[in-house]
């Protein structure tokens, strides 16, 4: 259980920390210093590298979470905060799938074709989805902290 939780937490740190860095630090720095074509090329290269890591983190998060739930005797026997984590975590994975399949893939093709205005629009949609996932991750962490403290 201890190793499962360790890998679970490492996945959370990688995914949520990466989103925080991209949204709060890299995005404004790129807007400040780069013109749209370079900025869009930068994001294409960033996503190409980071999203592989997120896929790995998502798999480890889901597998470790589900195995830990088995230790509790199934979803119905798990504490409420774990059930909330399951729902919120699944929602986060769905939002990430949208980022990957409807955002990143389109962005990659548009950057390759040098269609900058369209690529900019897709990047804007990805930004909104990442903001949503960051918000969901904060809600999830609050649910875990409150649940662990015995509030529900
Ligand atoms: C479908 C996805 C997920 C499942 C099935 C799941 C399940 C679990 C389970 C069963 C535990 C062990 C709880 C315990 O030992 O009391 C746990 C721990 C934890 N999970 Fe998740 N989780 C998921 C997603 C997430 C996400 C998205 C986050 C954060 C954004 C997260 C953050 C944590 C934290 C911080 C702990 C440690 C809690 C503690 O022991 O104090 N989990 N998770």
Would you list the domain boundaries of the chain? 2-148
Q: What is the DSSP string of 64-125?
A: HHHHHHHHTTSTTTS-HHHHHHHHHHHHHHHHHHHIIIIIIHHHHHHHHTT-HHHHHHHHHH
Among 29, 26, 24, 18, CA closest to 58? 18
Q: What pLDDT score does 36 carry?
A: 96
Is the separation of the CB atoms in 111 and 104 below 8 Å?
Answer: no
Q: What pLDDT score does 13 carry?
A: 98
Under DSSP, the state recorded for 150 is T
pTM of the model: 0.95
Distance, CA 51 to ligand 1 centroid (Å)?
A: 21
Distance separating alpha carbons of residues 4 and 69, to the nearest angstrom = 11
Distance separating alpha carbons of residues 117 and 129, to the nearest angstrom = 19
Q: What pLDDT score does 152 carry?
A: 84
Ordered per-residue pLDDT tens for the chain, 152 residues: 899 999 999 999 999 999 999 999 999 999 999 999 999 999 999 999 999 999 999 999 999 999 999 999 999 999 999 999 999 999 999 999 999 999 999 999 999 999 999 999 999 999 999 999 999 999 999 999 999 999 98
Distance separating alpha carbons of residues 78 and 85, to the nearest angstrom = 11
Phi and psi for 43 in degrees, rounded to 5? Answer: -65, -35
Distance, CA 119 to ligand 1 centroid (Å)?
A: 35
Q: Whose CA is nearest to atom 9 of ligand 1?
A: 65
Residues whose beta carbon lies within 6 Å of some atom of ligand 1? 5, 8-9, 12, 16, 61-62, 65-66, 68-69, 82, 85-86, 89-90, 92, 137, 140-141, 144, 148
Distance, CA 3 to ligand 1 centroid (Å)?
A: 13
């Amino acid at each position: 259980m201890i190793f499962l939780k360790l890998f679970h937490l490492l996945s959370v740190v990688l995914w949520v920390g990466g989103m925080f860095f991209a949204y709060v630090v890299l995005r404004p720095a790129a807007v400040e210093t780069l013109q749209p074509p370079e900025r869009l090329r930068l994001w294409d290269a960033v996503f190409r590298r980071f999203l592989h890591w997120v896929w790995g983190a998502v798999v480890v998060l889901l597998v470790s979470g589900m195995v830990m739930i088995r230790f509790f005797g199934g979803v119905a026997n798990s504490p409420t905060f774990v059930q909330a984590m399951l729902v919120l975590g699944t929602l986060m994975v769905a939002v990430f799938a949208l980022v990957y399949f409807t955002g990143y893939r389109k962005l990659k093709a548009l950057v390759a074709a040098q269609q900058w205005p369209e690529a900019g629009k897709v990047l804007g949609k990805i930004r909104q989805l990442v903001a949503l996932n960051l918000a969901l991750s904060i809600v999830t962490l609050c649910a875990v902290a409150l649940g662990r403290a015995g509030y529900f």
